[in-house]
Amino acid sequence: MKPVLLDTGCIVALLDRSERHHEHCVEVVTELSAPLVTCEAVIAESCYLLRSVERAAAAVLDNVDAGVFRVPFRLDASGAAVKRLLQRYRNVPMDLADGCLVQMADELETGEILTLDSDFEVYRWRRSRKFRNLLS
């Protein structure tokens, strides 16, 4: 079973009940049976954005610990490829977390993603393949 990429916005919406996309994200994630994969840059962004929500940052890390959010990506092994992506999409602009997710799509051979970021309509994995946002 191919994994589904997990972006920051979805994690924030899952753990912040006041976020307007909370219910939709919970509904979609609950229906998935595929593994949820992400990168440390997304985990860091999520913890930062959730810092004012009591226990939310800890919940992010608890989900990593429990294997709910899997983190198979290694920037030290893929840094050059991510750097090329950041350069290629500099006009969007692409941030580090998005670059890692696009590279993960290439490495894991999946374009399925949970994101609230419209930039993934522009980004392509394997240079030409469109992402399929499961939250759309």
Q: For residues 74-78, give the mean pLDDT.
A: 95
pLDDT band at 131 (very low <50, low <70, confident <90, very high): very high
Q: What CATH number should be reported for the domain holding residue 25?
A: 3.40.50.1010
pLDDT band at 101 (very low <50, low <70, confident <90, very high): very high
Q: For residues 31-39, give the mean pLDDT.
A: 97
In terms of phi and psi (left: phi > 0; alpha: psi -120 to 50; beta: otherwise), the region of 122 is alpha
What is the span of the domain harbouring residue 12? 4-133
The total of structural domains in the chain comes to 1
pLDDT band at 60 (very low <50, low <70, confident <90, very high): very high
